[in-house]
Structure 1
Amino acid sequence: MRRRVLLLVAAIAALLLLAFLVPLAVLVRTVAEDRAVATATAEAQSLVPLVATSDRESLRLAVEQVDGVAVFLPDGTVLGTADRTPLVELGTRGVSASADVPGGREIVTAVRDRTGAGGAVRAFVPDAELTRGVAHSWLILAGLGVALLVVGLVLGDRLARSFVRGATDLAQVSDRLARGDLAARADPAAPGELGSVARALNGLAERISELLREERESVADVAHRVRTPLTALKLEAESLRDPAEAGRIEAAVEGVERAVTGAIAQARQRGTDTGHADAAVVVGERVAFWAVLAEDTDRAVTVDLAPGPLPVALGRTDLAALVDALLGNVFAHTPDGTAFAVRLRATGSGAELEVADAGPGLPDTAVLRRGVSGAGSTGLGLDIVRRSAERSGGALHLEHRGGLRAVVTLGAP
């Protein structure tokens, strides 16, 4: 944009300068020619009275004092150095005239001597006299044109900078808003329409902040309401006679309570910091939790976890929710007795978590969309996994190889 503005300013300035300087240069040349011709004509006419009143010797002395002038007397005598040209012949017949000749301009004035016989006074102006001072004047005009062009480009560059600065600021603010920095604001003092766009963008950011604030409060309220039935369920679990069964249910309830607490904390977060956690520890804990249910449903579990520490750019609560979503899908969408495997590997840019089962797989890829499920559930599990992985700088990949293989890449903090 800046380059285009400069090109436009340069083109307009060049056209204006050409329209101004070319006629002025022609005028300078014309004035120089007219001045030289007028000077030569005046010198020639100063000899006209002498032809009729002075003797030949006095006339000869007067001619020698004037450069480029010659007098052709009626008897054929020539005073001065000049050739007899056709224009001189016309002058001897009483016709005064001037014409361009090779090397300059010839000016002939008709005269009469004492007897009334016709003669002529010839003045010659060389080309050097006709263009004296023109080159110097043209150089001054060219310098003036270049200076004006530079001034125009400097002013145009400042104008272009203001436009580009405003557009760049809008792009940077839009990028910050896209990354979740809702405190980003554009400069409403930007020139012209850019200022209107900046004000509209700021209004949009304010509205987004309000909507997200309302959504956070709504999610926090809903999550808070879940605590009451969880507390009741925990009390019921404590009343069970089987200590092992009571401990298992209490652990499950505590896990759900931690998830609810995490949801409330995350809903009230105003920044975009995702935190970090040790993937080896979190994945190990969640696999151990689900292993009890796998044993109850006759599922063979293959566990291959890389030794820690294995930090990833995802908070502990979010990482636990991601693992629970993947393992929960295995139990929810495959029949009892279906084997599954959990593998965690370190990569150069973080970690890779793989959960593979020998079940029927997904009905189609539409279940990756939020709220879509192929088995009557809420349809949020895989979407939670995908969004959590992307928030850490990774991704979710699903493959059908005799079952479902979910591979989650997690970025390093």
Structure 2
Amino acid sequence: MRARLALLVAAVSVLTLIAFLVPLALLVRTVAEDRATVRATADAQSLVPVVGTADAATIRVTVEQLAAESGREVSVFLPDGTVLGAPAPRTPAVALAARGQSLTGESAAGREVVIAVQGRADGTGVIRIVVPKQELTAGVTRAWLVLALLGVLLVLIGLAVADRLARTLVRPISELSAVSHRLANAELDARVTPAGPAELREVAGALNHLAARIQVLLVQEREQVADLSHRLRTPLTALRLEAESLRDPDDAARITAAADGLERAVTGLIRQARWRTPTPGAAASDAAAIVADRVAFWSVLAEDTGRAVSLDLAPGPLLVGVPADDLTAAVDALLGNVFAHTPDGTPFAVRLAAEAGDVLLTVADEGPGMDEGPGMPAGAVERGASSAGSTGLGLDIARRAAQAGGGRLELRAAPGGGTQVLLRLGPQREA
């Protein structure tokens, strides 16, 4: 913006100066020419009494003296054809003046001033003075240089003023941009000091109001999450007590583990909601151990619903840049989708392998597949998108977990029918 404002001011200044200085320069030249002509005319007028009354010898002396003093070419043409002073041809201007008409004309040597002198007994005499071109333009070049320097100085002053004005505009805009980036990076205490024109001050106030409003909304959201956690802990505690009262130790252990997992998930959600700047991929987890544990958990339900489970698990540990709680939630979401969206008895397969340095989790079922039209639409992995009456958050949870480790989520139609979900968990980490 500063460069554009400077260019605009420079263009306007140059055009304005051209509009004023060019006529002024022409006026300076005209004034110089008129001044030289007036001086020559005055000198010629001083010879009129002498030429009109004196003899030839006196006229010659006076003319030579005037020529020496003025440095101009002075000639007097008497009626009998005698030329006194500087020898010169009888020009058309001289011939016209001999008829009694004084005038000023241009010649090759400069400006020619001729004056008719009447009253002599022998006829009309003519005084001719030539103003050289150097005298006509004396001082013009210097005046033009002064005008040019003045124009350059004015342009520089205009640029300096424009640059200062641009800084007063650019500085608040730069501050607005910096604060907006800080807000985007979750620095919600960033604020703008209103400065600059009224419009920019209004924008700064609006941005500060927006930041304050975001802080209020986040505080409300965190409090709601905390309230939710408080409400969930009571039924979780009751569930754990009920599990401990079961007679079958295996059932008690299984239900207690499920309650503990649910409590960990709730605690993780609360902690994540209260983070100011999440750091995806900061913690590593063993994908092999987590997948094996979650498949074993869901295998009990699969057995109850008559589903055959196929597990192809690469030898661990397979460390990925996804927190354990997030990866557990992602695996549960994918396996839960199989049970929620396929009929009982539908087999499914889970495969975890390291391919080309990446860890790839594949969950494939032999169900009816997705009925949202040809291909796998991108909307299937958008948050809240579902055509089966569910919340639509399962695939989004898995996608976010994959992105936390630098991977992605892919949906495909299985070769034998059904749906195949590929969760790329990012590059495998060193132990």
Aligned equivalents of 1:211 and 1:394: distance in 2?
Answer: 31
Matches within 5 A, 1:31-180: 31-65=31-65, 66=67, 67-79=72-84, 80-112=86-118, 114-115=120-121, 117-180=123-186
Count of residue correspondences: 410
RMSD after superposition: 2.8
Matches within 5 A, 1:5-404: 5-65=5-65, 66=67, 67-79=72-84, 80-112=86-118, 114-115=120-121, 117-274=123-280, 276-279=282-285, 281-282=286-287, 284-294=289-299, 296-297=302-303, 298-305=307-314, 307-308=316-317, 310-312=319-321, 314-334=322-342, 335-345=344-354, 352-364=360-372, 365=377, 366-390=379-403, 394-401=407-414, 402-404=417-419
Identity between Structure 1 and Structure 2 (%): 52
In structure 2, do the counterparts of structure 1 residues 220 and 159 end up closer, same or farther at CA, with 3 Å as the change threshold? same
Instruction: Flag structure 2 segments of 5+ consecutive residues without an equivalent.
Output: none
- Asked whether the 8 Å contact 2:172–2:194 carries over to 1, the reply is no
Amino acid at match of 1:195: R
1:264 is displaced (CA, Å) by 1.7
Aligned equivalents of 1:308 and 1:21: distance in 2?
Answer: 84
Aligned equivalents of 1:163 and 1:351: distance in 2?
Answer: 52
- Asked whether the 8 Å contact 1:71–1:121 carries over to 2, the reply is yes
TM-score of the two chains, using structure 2 as the length reference:
0.85
1:371 is displaced (CA, Å) by 3.4
In structure 2, do the counterparts of structure 1 residues 308 and 35 end up closer, same or farther at CA, with 3 Å as the change threshold? farther
TM-score of the two chains, using structure 1 as the length reference:
0.88
Amino acid at match of 2:218: L
Aligned equivalents of 1:102 and 1:233: distance in 2?
Answer: 120
Amino acid at match of 1:124: V
Amino acid at match of 1:50: V
Amino acid at match of 1:359: G
Aligned equivalents of 2:176 and 2:420: distance in 1?
Answer: 43
Superposed CA offset, 1:287-331 (max 9, x none) = 32332432552432333447556342x443333322322222223
1:116 is displaced (CA, Å) by 6.7
Aligned equivalents of 2:212 and 2:139: distance in 1?
Answer: 69
1:31 is displaced (CA, Å) by 1.4
Moved more, 137-146 or 211-220: 137-146
Amino acid at match of 1:381: G
1:352 is displaced (CA, Å) by 4.7
Amino acid at match of 1:75: D
In structure 2, do the counterparts of structure 1 residues 308 and 30 end up closer, same or farther at CA, with 3 Å as the change threshold? farther
Amino acid at match of 2:383: R
Aligned equivalents of 1:310 and 1:357: distance in 2?
Answer: 26
Instruction: Flag structure 1 segments of 5+ consecutive residues without an equivalent.
Output: none
- Asked whether the 8 Å contact 2:346–2:366 carries over to 1, the reply is no
* Match for residue 420 of structure 2 among 401, 405, 411: 405
Amino acid at match of 1:358: E
- Asked whether the 8 Å contact 1:301–1:340 carries over to 2, the reply is yes
In structure 2, do the counterparts of structure 1 residues 330 and 368 end up closer, same or farther at CA, with 3 Å as the change threshold? same
Moved more, 87-96 or 291-300: 291-300
In structure 2, do the counterparts of structure 1 residues 325 and 293 end up closer, same or farther at CA, with 3 Å as the change threshold? closer
Aligned equivalents of 1:27 and 1:306: distance in 2?
Answer: 97
Amino acid at match of 1:244: D
Secondary structure of the residue aligned to 1:69 is: strand
- Asked whether the 8 Å contact 2:294–2:328 carries over to 1, the reply is no
Superposed CA offset, 1:203-254 (max 9, x none) = 1121122112211211221122111111111111111222222212111111
In structure 2, do the counterparts of structure 1 residues 353 and 245 end up closer, same or farther at CA, with 3 Å as the change threshold? same
- Asked whether the 8 Å contact 1:302–1:342 carries over to 2, the reply is yes
1:19 is displaced (CA, Å) by 1.6
In structure 2, do the counterparts of structure 1 residues 132 and 316 end up closer, same or farther at CA, with 3 Å as the change threshold? farther
Aligned equivalents of 2:317 and 2:151: distance in 1?
Answer: 73
